[in-house]
Amino acid sequence: MKKVFTCLSFILVLISCKKDSIDVGIQYDIAPEFTVYVNKFYEEATSRGITIARENLIVKANLNLGQTDICGKCKQNTQYPSLQRTVEINTESLTCWKSMPENNREALVFHELGHCLLGRLLHKDDLFNDGSPKSIMISSNSDLYSPCVYVLDDKPELCNKTGRRKYYIDELFDENTPAPDWSK
């Protein structure tokens, strides 16, 4: 009887001590400088009938992404991608956050959330005939739908890309979005 009790006690200890490695709990922590962009992302998803739970997402500044030309990164648990998703944005690099216009900051955060929340793991570097990227998921997503910073000619409409925002956001949530008129 003592052996049975010992065996049962040992099994009970093993079961109770075993920590389920995939149970990380619900995490949601967005750094204040990114809150407006994350909220816009969720609003854009909702306006397209897409529901994304506000859980298991961390968005934070990371000053050391390994290379100065990397502006953002999505880190996920490769075995269970929806359990822990972390977006890190390089806020110190002059080529990244510090000198970016508002629209480019939004595009960067949306791009990284596309990786983490929409499962768009690969970059899409295809270009339209006019040289514009086909997707916000391009590997170098700078200046997709920004206003002109410097107008160097008498046709500012050629550099003002704010009208392109709708297409890029539509394509982010639906890769089958048809090419826009301005791309031809």
Instruction: Yes or no: say if 73 and 91 are a contact pair by the CB < 8 Å rule.
Output: no
Q: Is residue 148 part of a domain?
A: yes
**What pLDDT was estimated at residue 132?**
87
Whether residue 4 lies inside any domain: the answer is: no
Distance CA 82, CA 184 (A): 37
CA 58-99-67 angle, 5° bins: 60
CA dihedral 69, 84, 125, 34 (to 10 degrees): -60
Q: Domain total for the chain?
A: 1
Domain residue limits at 80? 22-183
Give the tokens for residue 31: 């750094």
How does DSSP assign 6-51, residue by residue? Answer: HHHHHHHHHHHH---TT-----EEE-GGGHHHHHHHHHHHHHTT--
Q: Is residue 51 part of a domain?
A: yes
Nearest to 136 by CA among 163, 160, 104, 158: 104
Q: Residue 11: which pLDDT band, with cuts at 50, 70 and 90?
A: very low
Over residues 78-134, the pLDDT tens digits come to 777 667 899 999 888 777 888 888 899 999 999 999 999 999 999 999 999 888 899
- Whether residue 50 lies inside any domain: the answer is yes
Residue for token digits 């009790």? Answer: 5
| Average pLDDT value for the chain | 81
The radius of gyration of the chain's CA atoms, rounded to the nearest angstrom, is 22
Specify if 114 maps to a domain.
yes
11 located within any domain: no
Considering the domain boundaries, does residue 3 fall inside one?
no
- With respect to residue 133, please indicate whether it lies within any of the assigned structural domains: yes
Instruction: Please determine, for residue 37, whether its predicted confidence score (pLDDT) is greater than 80.
Output: yes
